[in-house]
Structure 1
Amino acid sequence: MARVIRFHQHGGPEVLRIEQAEAVPPAGGEVQIRVKALGLNRAEALLRAGTYIEQAVFPSGLGLEAAGLVEAVGADVTDFAPGDAVSIVPPQSMVRWPAYGELATFPAELVVKHPPSLDWKEAAAVWMPYLTAYGALVDVAGLRQSDFVVVTAASSSVGLAAIQIANRIGAIPIAVTRTRAKAEALLAAGAAHVVATAEENLEARLRDISGAAGVRVVLDPIGGPIFEPLTAAMARGGILVEYGGLSPAPTPFPLHAVLGKGLTLRGYLVHEITGDPRRLAAAKAFILDGLASGAFKPVIARTFAFDDIVAAHRYLESNEQFGKIVVTV
């Protein structure tokens, strides 16, 4: 038996329960992990609330990121052995492959031996943010040296990973946040500029920063009214990659900016990368190289114990964090 976190109905953080479940050995092609740390993602709060792209099957597990030691391997698994230190690429389905537990099982192709320079908390905070940011900026947008790139929700784990990736490439990251409360931290994290939308005119500031070149790439998980000032400040032929929908307000289609400047507005989910072996291999090589060099370093906002999962989810939904929330097991 092993402890797992599940929920039996949709709702707030209080529906999460710690329960005992049978520890089923891994099947062929699977690797079972004794989990040391979990990385929390907003997708898990959405699944719990019943508003995610995937539907829960009750009682439902959840969780997309974990790091730990290999406990057992299934038939035909030759690249891993018990005792290996590994982390997990987010699976396509967290209902099928839930991470929240003392033991968790995943397809072997999603298991990665992480660099020894990472501790368990950092290893659990790598793959969702860096794969999401890499896929949007490098794979989809083709970010180049000297490009101005706007990163909204910049203090999120994806936003901070995007800033590091932009700097690795030699692009110029512009962090967009609501107020200037996190401005110093964002500059220290590598942002070249910080724009506070509640205190400054977003379009005017982006035009002032980017000058005649304009902003070529925008990475946004918010949507809503922010689309109009963002696209107004973009360069001809620029691309806006949308990977969320956090704004409750309608998202206007900026027709005149899109037509006048030939802009691309592109929806994106990390599943594009994790579901394509060739693209995933390129992404893993890029991220592992950045981790090994020290150019990439996961930012941990706060750590909770496994028994405090309800409090961890409440903090996740507070929007107060700077970086990744991690749960230790």
Structure 2
Amino acid sequence: MAKVVRFSELGGPEVLRIEEVEVLPPGPGEVRILAKALGLNRAEALLRRGSYIEAAALPSGLGLEAAGVVESIGDGVEGLNPGDAVSLVPPRSMLRWPVHGELIRVPAELVVKHPPELDWEGAAALWMAFLTAYGALVDLAGLKTGETVAITAASSSVGLAAIQIANRIGARPVAVTRSEAKREALMAHGAAAVVLSEGEGLAERLEAAAGGGSGLRVVLDAVGGPIFEPLTAAMAPGGILVEYGGLSPLPTPFPLPAVLGKSLTLRGYLVHEITRDPAKLAAAKAFILAGVAEGAFKPVIARSFPLDEIVAAHRYLESNDQFGKIVVTV
């Protein structure tokens, strides 16, 4: 028996429970892991509220990120052994492979040997943020040296990963945030400029931060809503806006004049585009692990909670006050 995070009704953080359940031995091609740290994502909050891309069959587990020690392996698993320190590429289905608990059973293809440069918390916080940012900026948008990229929700774990990836490429990351209080921290974590999303003249302020010229070719957005119009107004002809979130509760207008006038691409994106493609995933893992080894990539941890404070951890997640990743230690 092992402690796992579950919920039996939809709702806020208070519906979460820590329950004792049996975790089956690993089957063929599977690995069972003793968790040391868990990474929190907004997707888990959406699942328990009933607004995720998957619908929970209650009672349900949850969780997309973890790091720990291999406890046992199933038939046919190669390259992994009991005692190995590992972290997890997010599963494509949180319902099929929930990972928030003491003991985790997952397909071996999701398991990566723990990067020695990172501690347990850093390893648990690595893959969702950096795979998402890599897939959007490198694989999809083809961000190049010398280009400027605007990154909204810049203080999120994905936003901070995107800043680090842009800097490693030699691009210029402009951080877009709601809070003046986060300006100094964003600059300290690699932003070339910080632009506040609130107030008048956002498009003009973005253009100024980009250094003038023809505008931004690449925008990475997690917000949606009314910000779409100033973002696209600041974009260059032929530019691409990659949308990977939807944090705004307000309707998202379609900026038809900018899209037509500049031949813009507005592209929805899910990290599954990388994780379901073995070749793309291999390239992404190599890129990210190289960045970690060089010291260019390091997850930013906002705060750590013990497992028995999982409700408090989710409340903090929904406060939007964090700078970086929230992790839970086991």
1:232 maps to 233
Question: Does residue 73 of the first structure (1) align with residue 73 of the second (2)?
Answer: yes
Paired residue for 1:312? 313
Aligned counterpart, 1:104: 104
Q: Secondary structure at the match of 1:173?
A: strand
Q: Which residue of 2 aligns with 1:116?
A: 116
Deviation, 1:199, is 4.5
The structural deviation recorded for 1:208 is 1.3
Distance of 2:200 and 2:263 partners within structure 1: 27
Residue matched to 2:164: 164
Match of 1:196 in 2: 196
Matches of 2:5 and 2:58 in 1, distance apart? 12
Tell me, yes or no, if the aligned pair for 2:7 and 2:60 is still in contact at 8 Å: yes
**Residues matched between the structures, number:** 329
Paired with 1:314 and 1:125, the residues of 2 have a C-alpha distance of 18
The amino acid across from 1:241 in the alignment is: V
Q: Structure 2: which 5+ runs fail to align?
A: none
- Unpaired runs of 5+ residues, structure 1, are none
Partner SS state of residue 100, structure 1: coil
- When structure 1 is superposed on structure 2, of 203-212 and 274-283 the one drifting more is 203-212
**2:276 is the alignment partner of 1:268:** no
Measured after TM superposition, the shift of residue 23 of structure 1 is 2.4
Is contact 1:90–1:110 with CA below 8 Å preserved after alignment?
A: yes
The sequence identity of aligned pairs, in percent, is: 73
| CA distance in structure 2 between the partners assigned to 1:260 and 1:9 by the alignment | 47
CA distance in 1, matches of 2:216, 2:5: 43
**Equivalent residue of 1:198, what SS?**
coil
Q: After superposition, what is the alpha-carbon deviation per residue over 1:229-288, rounded to whole angstroms, capped at 9, x for unaligned?
A: 000000111000000111111111111111111110000000100011010000000000
1:1-329 correspondence runs (5 A): 1-199=1-199, 201-210=201-210, 211-329=212-330
Q: How far off its partner does 1:204 sit?
A: 1.0
Post-superposition shift, 1:22?
Answer: 0.9
TM-score, normalised with respect to structure 2: 0.99
How far, CA to CA, are the matches of 1:78 and 1:254 in structure 2?
50
Q: Could you list the per-position Cα deviations for residues 274-314 of structure 1 after superposition, in whole angstroms to 9, with x for gaps in the alignment?
A: 01101000000000000000000100000000000000000
Corresponding residue SS for 2:135: helix
Q: Give secondary structure in 1 for the equivalent of 2:194.
A: strand
| One-letter amino acid matched to 1:278 | A
Task: For residue 31 of structure 1, report the CA deviation from its aligned partner.
Answer: 0.7
Decide whether the 8 Å contact of 2:195 with 2:209 is kept in 1. no
**SS of corresponding position for 2:159:** helix
Corresponding residue SS for 1:37? strand
- Where 2:280 maps in the other structure, the secondary structure is helix
| Aligned 8 A contact 1:300 1:324 in 2 | yes
**8 A Cα contact 2:30 2:105, kept in partner:** yes
Question: CA separation in 2, counterparts of 1:172 and 1:23?
Answer: 46
Distance in 2 of aligned mates of 1:289 and 1:200: 41
Pairwise CA distance, 1:209: 2.0
Instruction: Indicate if the aligned counterparts of 1:7 and 1:58 stay in contact, CA closer than 8 A.
Output: yes
Distance 2:32 2:59 in 1: 21
Mapped contact 1:179–1:199 kept (Cα < 8 A): no
What secondary structure sits across from 1:265 in the alignment?
strand
Q: 1:213: Cα distance to partner?
A: 3.4
Alignment check: 8 A CA contact 2:301 2:326 kept: yes
